[in-house]
């Protein structure tokens, strides 16, 4: 799985609508409304590298109300949640 983190700046009055539109796009797994330098953060998860351009350039950047995006590609995930899930496969919980 290839994960991209997309930082999104929006027109201020369109943030809720943009967030919902993004959440409904194929390839977008999560959208967060944030405080700070950007208005929204979208998590894009795809199976092939080529799909990143389809989702971000082909879909996300075309959503009305988006002013700017900045994309980061994740190399590795470090998460206790992921590690706990991996080690509990096949184990019954008590």
Q: What is the pLDDT of residues 30-53, one digit of tens each?
A: 999 999 999 999 999 999 999 999
H or E element, residue 70: strand 66-73
Contact criterion met (CB below 8 Å) for 60 and 28: yes
Rg from Cα positions in the chain:
15
- Mean pLDDT, rounded, for 26-32: 97
Cα 75 to Cα 92: distance, rounded to the nearest angstrom: 31
pTM of the model: 0.82
- Mean pLDDT, rounded, for 4-22: 97
Closest CA to 55 of 66, 65, 67, 43: 43
Average pLDDT, the chain: 90
pLDDT of residue 78: 85
Residue % of the chain over a pLDDT of 70:
85
pLDDT over 80 (residue 93): no
Torsion angle defined by CA atoms of residues 66, 59, 75 and 10, in that order, rounded to the nearest 10 degrees: 10
The β-bridge partners of 69 are 8
């Amino acid at each position: 799985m290839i994960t991209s983190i997309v930082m999104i700046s929006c027109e201020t009055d369109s943030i809720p609508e943009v967030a919902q539109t993004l959440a409904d796009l194929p390839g977008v797994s999560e959208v967060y409304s944030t405080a700070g330098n950007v208005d929204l953060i979208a998590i894009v998860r795809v199976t092939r590298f080529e799909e990143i351009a389809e989702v971000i350039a082909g879909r996300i950047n075309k959503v009305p109300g988006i002013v700017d995006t900045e994309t980061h590609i994740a190399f590795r995930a470090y998460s206790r949640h992921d590690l706990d899930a991996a080690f509990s496969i096949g184990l019954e919980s008590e």
